[in-house]
Amino acid sequence: MDPAQVAPGSLSWRLSSHPITLLTFLAFRISSLLVYLFGLLFTNNLVMIFIITILLLAADFYYLKNIAGRRLVGLRWWNEVDPATGDSHWVFESSEPGTKIVNPTDSRFFWLAIYAQPLLWIVLAIVALISFKFIWLPLVAIALVLTITNTLAFSRCDKFSQASNIAGSALNSGNIAGSIATNMVGRLFR
């Protein structure tokens, strides 16, 4: 299929601004699920399947958080701990509104994959419970923690980015409402 014939925002990796990043992101997202689902068909070694799935989930978590999120949708997050109090808080970073144009195809793939994977792990947890395969529940629980953490963090980061863009555009208009909006948004995300 010719990339010129595909509509912008379609789910075709050929329209991606960063095809290698997108394909690597999707490979990590899919590989942990495939190893979990089909690992027993090729080997009876539960420990090996467990370890490989955990390593793939960790690589997916790192790659999504530090590379794919920033390149595909211009978002990044991290957790900071205050050394004096021990309190931790999430820090959200987004690209400046005028500096990065997010490709609609990259965005659709990103958000679809980020929301679909936790749902699939929830289904696998239910299947493990129903089929009395309790030995797999710790692995599924780890997968859920990692995928839901990234999903929540990127969702909050996206909301923070949208709020900052609204406040920034109001500030650039040079009116009183703009400064009020900027102050309100600034207080919400301290």
| Domain boundaries defined on the chain | 3-188
Give the CA distances from residue 46 to residues 33, 53, 125, in Å, rounded to whole numbers and listed in that order. 15, 11, 16
pLDDT of residue 187: 45
Mean pLDDT of 90-98: 79
**pLDDT tens-digit map of 16-64:** 788 999 999 999 999 999 999 998 788 888 999 999 999 999 999 999 9
User: Which two tokens mark 46?
Assistant: 């539960």
Highest mean pLDDT among 8-17, 73-82, 122-131: 122-131
- Name the pLDDT band for 5 (thresholds 50, 70, 90): low
Q: Which element (helix H / strand E) includes 19?
A: helix 19-42
Residue 1 in 3-state DSSP? coil
Taking the CB of residue 68, how many other CB atoms lie within 10 A of it? 29
pTM score above 0.75: yes
**pLDDT tens-digit map of 139-167:** 999 999 999 999 999 999 888 766 555 54
Taking phi over 0 as left and psi of -120 to 50 as alpha, with beta for the rest, 11 belongs to beta
Computed over every residue of the chain, the mean pLDDT equals: 82
Q: Is 124 a residue whose pLDDT tops 50?
A: yes
**pLDDT tens-digit map of 62-72:** 999 999 999 99
Query: Any idea which of 7-11, 73-77, 117-121, 128-132 has the lowest mean pLDDT?
Result: 7-11
Q: Is 72 exposed, middle or buried (0-12, 13-18, 19+ CB in 10 A)?
A: buried
Map tokens 């953490």 to a residue. Answer: 149
